[in-house]
Amino acid sequence: MGFGVAFTPFNLMMAVAGVLVGILIGALPGVGPPSGVAMLLPLTFGMDPTSGIIMLAALYAGTMYGGTITAVLINTPGESASVVTCLDGYQMALQGRAGPALGIAAIGSFIAGTIGVVLLMLISPVLARWSLAFGPPETFSLMLLGLTTVTLLAGEDPLKGYISMVFGLMLAMVGYDIISGDARYGFGIVEMMDGIDFLPAAIGLFGLGEVLAGAEQKGGAVLKTSLKLRDVLPGMADWARSKWAIARGTAMGFLVGVLPGAGPTVASFLAYTVEKKISKHPEQFGKGAIEGVASPESANNAAATAAMVPMLTLGIPGSATTAIMLGGLMMWGLRPGPMLFEKNPEFVWGLIASQYIANVMLLILSTLFIPLFVRAVRIPYSILMPLIVVFCVTGAYSLKNNLWDVGQMLVMGVLGYFMKKLGYSPAALVLALVLGPLAERALRQSLIISDAGIGILFMRPISGVLTALALLAILVPTVRAILKK
């Protein structure tokens, strides 16, 4: 049934457009999946929700791959999930093997993405049914787990991660209280009563913030390579070395991706570490081992697909990018969560089917057009940057057709600049801003139905386990920091 929806000419076109634009955006240094999805989300408001989400899902897959291109060619990851790809990918490029590196990444992404969609299809309905039994305490503890893990994994400094997260939650308090209707922290400004909209915030933090940070240092050096289609296909020897790396990467990526909070970036790091540990020749890692590209690239794509599982079934995004997509769903009037599968089946299955298509498109387009994308990386930063700002401004404006949102975007852009400079994680802030109102409502409802105060979070089995895990995620880095001294 899903394929019927996804195969309409318009939706197919949207999938192709999404993948193409995604690869381009991902290939631009400094602009990753969250900024890409945030900037293009307004474009989809004119469409029907199914076409919109199909385009966004394709765009997400495309940006994941686009980031790989810059990682391999100019040693600059286009997004954080490609950071590890730099290690071996750039070394391969220096040895004149950029083609096979990009080729194996495309093939690995395709395999991982396709298997990921199959698993998504099998797991989601089961999980959705199971989560129907979730009450407010379970919802709250799950969100708590998502927030703490994303914070734990977001940056090098857990303290700064928690500060970003709590700051995001505080910003989420602005506006009408869902339960009592009080307008909080509005300072008498009418627009403030609607709260801080996370879409302009995400566009500012990721898009404009990156541009301001990039304005200081003029773009990096580009490796002069010319790639032909023939060069992109990896040889038999490369394939033999990579196939199990791809399989392991896919499995690990999916498992990590399903967890709320732990997204593609974590998956790629984990896959690389494991691959290096079990390799028969670990000394080649960091010097151009093709497994070092194949495994993390498969893992990050599997994780990107898997991140849709908690978003669709529980309404809890696993990463900054899925958080922004979740915002899109809510703007279309769809309520993500267990009921989505029953109320909007054509939407869910259309999305899932479009993921298959996006993966096939990605494989075809990425191998055919690699030479073209390599060119795009060379657009001078001085032209690219102002264009990104224009996109941020138009995007923020067209959300609700008002300049207030553009102003919010500007303020958040400046905040994003400082956060980036000082080592705070914008991803944790955005996730907290999205989850804040939902988590507050779940917590207060839990306390209303509870006889034991906050103890209700521990007394019900599912929420007890989830809360314990969340506390563990807070305690581990703290204990580690104390032991270090």
Partner 1 sequence: MRNADRVTAALLLAFAVAFSAGAVKNYQWWGAGGPGPAFVPFCLGIVMALLALMMLVRSIREKNPGEAWFPRGEGLRDMLVVLAVTIAYVALLDVTGMVVGTALYLAILVRYLGKHRWWVTLSVALGAGLFNWVVFVHWLRVPMPEGMFWTF
Kindly tell me which of 337 and 413 has the beta carbon lying closer to partner 1.
Answer: 413
C-alpha distances in Å from residue 66, one per residue of 28, 70, 76, 249, 338: 8, 7, 12, 19, 32
Q: Does 217 bind partner 1 (CB under 8 A)?
A: yes
C-alpha distances in Å from residue 166, one per residue of 144, 171, 454, 458: 12, 9, 19, 22
Min separation Cβ 461 and partner 1, Å: 23
Tokens 């008498």 sit at which residue? Answer: 188
Torsional sign, CA 271, 277, 279, 282: positive
Span interacting with partner 1, options 67-75, 90-98, 249-257, 403-411, rule CB under 8 A: 403-411
Min separation Cβ 115 and partner 1, Å: 36
Beta carbons within 8 Å of 172's beta carbon, 6+ residues apart: 195, 196, 432, 433, 434, 435, 436, 437, 440
| Residue 182: CB atoms within 10 Å | 10
Q: Using the rule CB under 8 A, which residue among 448, 452, 472, 475 binds partner 1? A: 448
Kindly tell me which of 84 and 150 has the beta carbon lying closer to partner 1.
Answer: 150
3-class SS of residue 263: coil
Q: Does 21 bind partner 1 (CB under 8 A)?
A: no
Q: Does 438 bind partner 1 (CB under 8 A)?
A: no
Min separation Cβ 376 and partner 1, Å: 15
Please tell me the distance from the alpha carbon of residue 472 to that of residue 450, in angstroms, as a whole number.
24
Min separation Cβ 161 and partner 1, Å: 10
Min separation Cβ 374 and partner 1, Å: 21
3-class SS of residue 175: strand
Q: Does 474 bind partner 1 (CB under 8 A)?
A: no
Please tell me the distance from the alpha carbon of residue 474 to that of residue 478, in angstroms, as a whole number.
7
Q: Does 159 bind partner 1 (CB under 8 A)?
A: yes
Site for partner 1 in 331-390 (CB under 8 A): 380-383, 385-387, 389-390
Tokens 């071996």 sit at which residue? Answer: 88
Kindly tell me which of 247 and 447 has the beta carbon lying closer to partner 1.
Answer: 447
Min separation Cβ 262 and partner 1, Å: 22
Helix H or strand E encompassing 184: strand 183-184
Instruction: Give the residue from 191, 197, 154 showing the smallest Cα distance to 436.
Output: 197
Q: Using the rule CB under 8 A, which residue among 162, 206, 285, 341 binds partner 1? A: 162
The residue count of the chain comes to 485
Q: Does 193 bind partner 1 (CB under 8 A)?
A: no
Q: Does 160 bind partner 1 (CB under 8 A)?
A: yes
Binding residues for partner 1, rule CB under 8 A, total: 54
Site for partner 1 in 45-74 (CB under 8 A): 45-46
The answer to whether residues 112 and 267 touch, using CB atoms and an 8 Å cutoff, is: no
Q: Which residues bind partner 1 (CB under 8 A)?
A: 43, 45-46, 159-160, 162-163, 166-167, 169-170, 173, 177, 179-180, 182, 184-185, 208, 211-213, 215-217, 380-383, 385-387, 389-390, 393-394, 397-398, 401, 403, 406-407, 410, 413-414, 417, 421-422, 440, 443-445, 447-448
